[in-house]
Structure 1
Amino acid sequence: MRSATVEVQGSWLQYVEVGAGDPVLFLHGNPTSSYLWRNVIGAVARAGRRCIALDLIGMGGSGKPTLDYRLVDHLGFVEAFVEALELSDLTLVGHDWGAVIALDHARRFRDRVRGVAFMEGHLRPIARWSDMDEGSRGLFQRVRTPGVGEQLIIQENFFVEEVLPAGILRTLSQEELDAYRAPYRDPAARLPVWRWPQEIPIEGAPADVAAIVTANQAVLADPDLPKLLLHANPGAVIGPAEVAWCREHGQALTIVDLGPGTHFLPEDRPTEIATALNNWLSRWG
């Protein structure tokens, strides 16, 4: 496994890479980094794939330019990254916001994408705050309250110290937790972590994010693009209702139940994820 950087859009993106063959690009979400995929990509690479795990801009070891760090900023940097590495015949694997980015990229660049696998990402805008469970509603109302969210996330590092461990069934080791802390030890580096919960499309806002998430549903309905939905029980962003919706509306869609898990599935179910990816890829890739 090697680490490298590539210059794009006046900054740089860091990534790790292992294996050879058709490329598989792994995209993380909030508040993680390419480190999330460390126990997945080796097994997929051994099956004959070039596995690339990217640090999103402002996150992990990537550059931290002066940006708003909105979803559209991340979409542009991922697009530039794929073009810089001249990736084609590409399979995308996304977790959390990485799933949204993967679906968007597949929608806009269908000619370079062979398949999309996704887990625990937003597949539909949230119509009403009341549609969220009480715990999630209270959390995201707090972090979207001006002043409160900045204190929790930027000053107290709440997403790394509290949300991340709470979304994993097992207990992270000190070494693992320190690896997740490393990119965000300085409060100034936590702006991307704070921005992400502001981007969740709830009751139509932010309007551009709601439009992107809605448009991504065309990818789920594409009968010619292989897709893989990985979910766990009880899940968090993708629970039973979202799985049922995908069964009803998805085409060319394989759905795999990974077993017990909440949100950060690559931490609890890395072997199951790698096995499901290899089985899925072997059928068409």
Structure 2
Amino acid sequence: MGNAGFRTAEIRAVHVVEHGPPDGRPVLLLHGWPQNWRAWTAIMELGAADGNRMIALDLPGIGGSAGARTDGSTVAMAETVHAVAADLELERYTLVGHDIGGMVGYSLLRAYPEIARAVVMDTVIPGIAPWDRALADPRLWHFGFHAVPGLPETLVAGHQRRYFDHIFATAAARPDAVTESARDSYAAAYGSDGALAAGFDWYRAFPADAAANTMLTATIATPLLYLRGDQEGGEIQTYARGFADFGIENVSAATVAGSGHFTPEENPRAVWQLITQWPG
């Protein structure tokens, strides 16, 4: 793997990577598209140095978790992640989700009270403001493209690296922060036909995700921190109000300096500092 001190395991067909003391405070990390667990490498190193048990995984269906593919909905992926967390005996853990991983994290937050704190990064939750505005944003053109049955697989297969390079070039404020080796890892994680389709299935499930999320209005006391790159655009308080309107009582929000969409790689120290200094 090339990462000293990182430990790997397969749990329920999910590829799990750990770093830091096994008895440290648990932090579970969920990546987004088009990435895999490696997006968290720098954050894992920072967290482990602080004595935390840092745990990242490949989301169901891609990379080392190809055998755990679901229907692509965040509810189904959350169920898989929860089962893995239970097998790892995680209690009162901090959950951190980026992009699609943040959507999965929201479903976990809604369903499983053993989560002590939740951090959602650089995403909009289906069905929750400003979801409708996001769907109309031309910068998110790939939402519609990925949702077309079969077409993105046909056009992207064999060109994963070039397609992903375009995403990093246009969505990151510092594209060079996503290293060449990381990009190779991401392209490989979506390299098979099944993994590529699994990633696109996440977008095809958005209408069902939105319908499920808008039905969930019960009050949630678990603290939630919303982070967003300061150069990604969008009014961050709009996202915070969206969570509050759906019953999240304790919402904090902050921007990550010098970052676009890929904050865990563009400014990992700032991300980790915001998480550790958050009083939630």
The TM-score with structure 1 as length reference comes to 0.81
Provide closer, same or farther for how the CA distance between residues 226 and 71 of structure 1 changes in structure 2, counting only shifts above 3 A: closer
Cα contact 1:100–1:213 (8 A) shared by 2: no
The one-letter amino acid of 2:116's match is R
SS of the residue corresponding to residue 16 of structure 1 reads: strand
What is the CA deviation profile of residues 139-193 of structure 1, one whole-angstrom value per residue up to 9, with x for unaligned ones? Answer: 3333333343222344532653422443222223322221222222333431212
Query: 2:183 — aligned with what?
Result: 177
Residue 259 (structure 2) aligns with: 261
The 5 A counterparts of 1:231-270 are 231-235=228-232, 239-240=235-236, 242-243=238-239, 245-246=241-242, 249=245, 251-270=249-268
Q: Go from structure 1 to structure 2 and tell me whether the alpha carbon gap of 1:33 and 1:257 turns closer, same or farther (over 3 Å shift).
A: same
Q: Does 1:227 align with 2:224?
A: yes
Q: List aligned pairs for 1:202-213, cutoff 5 A.
A: 205-206=207-208, 209-213=209-213
1:94 aligns with 2:101: no
Partner residue in 1 for 2:272:
274
1:271 shift after superposition: 0.8
Q: Which residue of 2 aligns with 1:114?
A: 116
The superposition leaves residues 77-128 of structure 1 with CA deviations (integer Å, 9 ceiling, x where unpaired) of 1011011111111111111121122222122111x11111111223342765
Alignment-derived partner of residue 36 in structure 2? 33
Equivalent pair of 1:43/1:274 in contact (CA under 8 Å): yes
8 Å contact from structure 2 (residues 30, 57) kept in 1: yes
Q: Following the alignment from structure 2 to structure 1, what is the Cα–Cα distance between the partners of residues 29 and 6? A: 15
1:51 to partner: Cα distance: 1.2
2:145 to 142, 147, 150: 142
Query: For the residues of structure 2 that align with 1:164 and 1:213, how far apart are their CA atoms?
Result: 29
SS at match of 2:62: coil
Contact 2:240/2:252, CA 8 A, preserved across alignment: no
Structure 2: distance between partners of 1:3 and 1:194: 29
For the 8 Å contact 2:14–2:58, the answer to whether it is kept is no
What is the TM-score when the length of structure 2 is the normalising length? 0.82
Kept in 1, the 8 Å contact 2:148–2:204? The answer is no
Given that residues 31 and 39 in structure 2 are in contact (C-alpha distance below 8 angstroms), is that contact kept between their aligned partners in structure 1?
A: yes
In the superposition, relative to structure 1, how do residues 211 and 272 fare at CA in structure 2: closer, same or farther (>3 Å)? same
CA contact 2:97–2:120 (8 Å) conserved in 1: yes
Name the CA distance, whole Å, in 2 between partners of 1:194 and 1:263. 19
Structure 2 contact 237–253 (Cα < 8 Å) conserved: no
Distance 1:269 1:91 in 2: 20
Asked if residue 16 in structure 1 is aligned to residue 12 in structure 2, the reply is no
Give me the whole-angstrom Cα distance separating, in 1, the residues matched to 2:242 and 2:76: 27
CA 1:215/1:96 → structure 2, altered by over 3 Å: closer, same or farther?
Answer: farther
User: What count of residue pairs does the alignment treat as equivalent?
Assistant: 268
SS in structure 1 opposite 2:257? strand
* Aligned counterparts of 2:157 and 2:15: Cα–Cα separation in 1: 22
Change (3 A) 1:155 1:130: same
2:201 corresponds in structure 1 to 195
Any stretches of 5+ residues in structure 2 without a counterpart?
Answer: none
CA shift in 2, pair 1:130/1:117, >3 Å: closer
